[in-house]
Structure 1
Amino acid sequence: MPAQPIQFYNRLTQRLETEAVYGEGPLRFVYENALGKVALHGLVKRALFSDWYGRQMDAPKSAARIRPFIQQYGVDVGEFAEPVESYGSFNDFFYRKLKPEARPVVEEAAAVALPADGRHFVIPDVTVGPDFFVKGVRFNLPALLRDEELAKRYEGGSVLISRLCPTDYHRFHFPCDGTPDTPRLINGPLYSVSPIAFMKRPSLFWENKRYVTRLSTPDFGLVTLLEVGATCVGTVVHTAQPGVPVRKGDEKGYFRFGGSCFITLFERGRIRFCEDLVENSAVGREVYARVGDVAGWRV
């Protein structure tokens, strides 16, 4: 039976598109093949594997991969803050900075900005309906946060899941004004966050290694932000300072090599997501859009 393509709605082009999956062959092998699952649990999900791969991407010889990657995936070099020749390794290129004008931030005070480039999925009310991507699986807030009291604050709240592919810009930003606390590490394995993986293991979002940051905001209550690591993303770097007020669109940090995920939680009645996010998510489809674009509006 041929593999089903991964489709998403592209907000920029306003049409359905098919995702070009980086490393699709190995991904399907470890998540869809019996022998591959042995490798998945014995090696691939372990930090040791991602640490080893990360070192390969830090090596100077990895810079030879940059231009072929740019050509294969159509990455826009005109957005880069530095010239391609300045990157000393593939990882330097991977978590590159962009020119400020490449990602304008929605200016309206009532608007929440998307925190990252990527494919976005929303759950307007996390307590309504049992299904999360996979039929019969409920989004598990207590497991995700490992904090029962914090999880209670988000009963009836809203969830924004922003999935970053290896081809995306990999710095993440604050979705609104506020003051962040110190990111709290929850250790775990490093499963892939590709749909190929979470259709087989939807619990990976609350299993994988992740960081939890509480953002106290003047307009949206307590917003909780999570960076979820994934295979070949053993390292999350935080560049924002805890306790220092931030503005919407300010950089929070970046992921090193690999696909990864950023989750934003809103308390009940705080946000109304954009219609394209709600409509596509309702049929299990993600929406591609860029950091700084509007995610929703204050209620």
Structure 2
Amino acid sequence: MESVTFVNRKTREKIVEQIPSAGMLKFLYSSALGKASLQLLFKRKIVSSIGGWYMNSKGSKNKIENFIKEYNMDMSEYICPENGFSSFNDFFYRKIKPEARPIGDGVVSPADGKLLAFNTIKESNNFFIKGSEFTAKSFLKDETLAKKYENGAMVIIRLAPVDYHRFHMPASGEISESKLINGDYYSVSPLALKKSLEIFCENIREYSILKTSENGDILVSEVGATMVGSIIQTYKPNTKIEKGSEKGYFAFGGSTLVLFFEEGKVKLDEDLIENTKNGFETVVKMGEKIGI
């Protein structure tokens, strides 16, 4: 397996993450035959739909115990049904005990994962191998809305399959309805993203606007990927919500959250910016402060 290095925020230790199916990902995103296979099959909804069907089946329960052992998961953090989980997906989007994720000051991470922080969206193009330029306009498919965020900060949070897969509100405010942008189902593995951040502009995604009194209008987007069965929104649109309250969850697969901030409305924490400039993601937990 190929590896990626990230930073443990608390200890500042650099940790090597082994990427599952690295050989397959290199084949799909680097070779001519792999790229052809990607276009013809792997990016398509049917592959993820079949995977999602199996992960919702009773037969998939057999995978849970080995998954917990392989990743040495601390299940004491989670709410486990008395009779056990009904399927692997039921386990995958398990709920967490509130005390396991205290909500910090300022703007907080909406999810557990590995985070990249940029003072401006344009700076993100320096982190990845040169390809198509990533812009708010190409991501949102809305020129007027894009202008609102094009000079603002951006946060990307990558959720690995082992992570807690529910996502929450990064601040208190009034949340809009969620808008769907249809697209493909490319992998959002770091090995795929190294080729181009433009994958985010091609994958299926949803976004909502969180209107806050202190941090302006925060755009919260969920990005689907290969083997992500669904993006499920559980919040009530056009209502006032509290920071840390649940927004929704991803069904099986690796997934990503993207946050856009208006210019001058948030100052992201310096350690997150510095780690990103040095080429490293930072491990964060839902509810952990990421900016003011």
TM-score bin, normalised by smaller chain: over 0.9
Q: Does 1:283 align with 2:281?
A: no
Tell me if structure 1 keeps the 8 A contact 2:211–2:218. yes
Q: TM-score, normalised by structure 1?
A: 0.93
Tell me the residue number matched to 2:252. 257
TM-aligned CA deviation for residue 85 of structure 1? 5.2
TM-aligned CA deviation for residue 134 of structure 1? 2.1
Tell me if structure 2 keeps the 8 A contact 1:190–1:234. no
Tell me if structure 2 keeps the 8 A contact 1:216–1:222. yes
Tell me if structure 2 keeps the 8 A contact 1:77–1:84. no
Tell me the residue number matched to 1:224. 219
Q: Which runs of 4+ in 1 moved over 6 A?
A: none
Deviation string for 1:248-272 (max 9, x for gaps)?
A: 1010000000001001111001111
Label 1:137 to 1:287 Cα distance change in 2 as closer, same or farther (>3 A): farther
Tell me the residue number matched to 2:38. 40
Tell me the residue number matched to 1:63. 61
Q: Which runs of 5 or more residues in structure 1 are unaligned?
A: none
Q: Among residues 235, 243, 253, which one is paired with 1:248 in the alignment?
A: 243
Tell me the residue number matched to 2:8. 10
- 1:1-299 residue pairs with structure 2 within 5 A? 5-83=3-81, 86-106=84-104, 108=105, 111-127=106-122, 130-135=125-130, 138-297=133-292
Tell me if structure 2 keeps the 8 A contact 1:211–1:228. yes
- Secondary structure of the 2:90 match is helix
Deviation string for 1:8-56 (max 9, x for gaps)?
A: 0111442100113233343333223433323211111100100011001
Label 1:85 to 1:128 Cα distance change in 2 as closer, same or farther (>3 A): same
Taking the aligned partners of 1:33 and 1:170, their CA distance within structure 2 comes to 31
- Secondary structure of the 1:271 match is coil
Taking the aligned partners of 2:274 and 2:251, their CA distance within structure 1 comes to 32
- Secondary structure of the 2:18 match is coil
Deviation string for 1:191-227 (max 9, x for gaps)?
A: 1111111112320011110001111111111111100
Tell me if structure 1 keeps the 8 A contact 2:131–2:196. no
Structure 1 residues 123-132 or 206-215, which shifts more? 123-132
- Secondary structure of the 2:24 match is helix
Tell me if structure 2 keeps the 8 A contact 1:229–1:235. yes
TM-aligned CA deviation for residue 130 of structure 1? 4.9
Tell me if structure 1 keeps the 8 A contact 2:156–2:259. yes
Tell me if structure 2 keeps the 8 A contact 1:113–1:292. yes
Residue identity (%): 42
Q: TM-score, normalised by structure 2?
A: 0.95
TM-aligned CA deviation for residue 137 of structure 1? 5.2
Taking the aligned partners of 1:137 and 1:131, their CA distance within structure 2 comes to 12
Label 1:217 to 1:152 Cα distance change in 2 as closer, same or farther (>3 A): same
